[in-house]
Amino acid sequence: MSDLKKVMLTFDPMISSKKPNDVVGESSCPFCSYTDMENLIKEDGSRLWVNNKYPTIKEVNQTVIIESDAHDFRMYEAESCELNQLFKFIMSCWRQFDEWPSNLQTVFLKNQGIHSGSSLNHPHLQLLGFKEDVGSLYMPSDFEGIVVKETDQLFITVSTQPICGYIELNLRVHQDAAINSWTNDLMGLVRFAVGYRDPSHPSYNIFGWKIDEYYQFKVVPRFVTSAYYIGFRLSQVFSTDQLIQIAEDLKLNYLSS
């Protein structure tokens, strides 16, 4: 038996039970007209970075970026100009969040859609800071795979060793790269994920890590999680031929040339 103790996060069901939910519940949207200004950390027009009013996990500083005051805004449908403004704001918040003394490490998390773990439809994402040592939150192999695009500052792959499976799309960008040099490609990966299996119920996650001088993102189309993974920690991946086809499709139809 291993002596290594598994890292666990402490979930508070009492706080969770108070959370609004308009994905599977019937709550009204708290982000359409945001009023809890005591939680505001930073703002840029209608974009707000706020402390999560319902911090369900004890070991984590949970913050939320409300991307727009428009309930139906979807970042992957936004014009380049608006998208770049949004990511300029997100990345400046993230850099600021990294400086919080209580954060040992920080990550980016976006949930959208019924299978993604999201409780609110309003466009938002989370910046999470771990107050306790939870070990490394990635392995280098999580981002390795079929290379889709490679430039001086940008590196995009389709995972050959996905964390959970089946399709995981990875984008790594240098911290000094201009925002408009990579956000359209990131949204290309999201559009692929959104249209992948059930476009009428699009569900996806974007995960983000700061690793040395790079930002690493992972875009994952979400379905019901495989029982192989839940019970046996076994991940599934498509055949190499199928992954190469996906890489070609991404190059041809979703990414800038």
Query: In the complex, which residues of this chain contact Zn ion (CB under 5 A)?
Result: 29, 31-32, 71, 122
The smaller minimum CB distance to Zn ion, of residues 68 and 170, is found at 68
Least distance to Zn ion, CB of residue 200, Å: 20
Cα separation of 15 and 72, whole Å? 27
The smaller minimum CB distance to Zn ion, of residues 85 and 121, is found at 121
Least distance to Zn ion, CB of residue 69, Å: 8
The smaller minimum CB distance to Zn ion, of residues 78 and 189, is found at 78
Q: Are 208 and 97 in contact (CB under 8 A)?
A: no
Cis status, amide bond into 166, omega within 30 of 0: yes
User: Residue 121 half-sphere exposure, CB side, CA atoms within 13 Å?
Assistant: 16
Least distance to Zn ion, CB of residue 72, Å: 8
Adjacent-strand bridge partners of 129: 61, 106
Least distance to Zn ion, CB of residue 122, Å: 3
Q: Which residue has the tokens 């192999």?
A: 141
Q: Hey, what are 192's tokens?
A: 């692929």
What are the phi and psi torsion angles at 15 (to 5°)? -65, -45
Least distance to Zn ion, CB of residue 204, Å: 19
The smaller minimum CB distance to Zn ion, of residues 31 and 49, is found at 31
Least distance to Zn ion, CB of residue 31, Å: 5
The smaller minimum CB distance to Zn ion, of residues 18 and 71, is found at 71
Least distance to Zn ion, CB of residue 75, Å: 15
The smaller minimum CB distance to Zn ion, of residues 46 and 175, is found at 46
How far apart, in Å, are the Cα atoms of 235 and each of 170, 208, 254?
17, 20, 26
User: Residue 192 half-sphere exposure, CB side, CA atoms within 13 Å?
Assistant: 26
The smaller minimum CB distance to Zn ion, of residues 66 and 128, is found at 66
Which among 250, 257, 67, 78 is positioned nearest to 167, based on CA atoms?
Answer: 250
Burial readout 162-190 (b: 16 or more C-beta within 10 A, e: otherwise): bbbbbbbbbbbbbeeeebebbbebbbbbb
Within the chain, strands assigned E span 40-44, 47-51, 60-66, 105-112, 124-130, 145-150, 154-159, 169-174, 204-211, 214-221
Number of residue whose CB is nearest Zn ion: 29
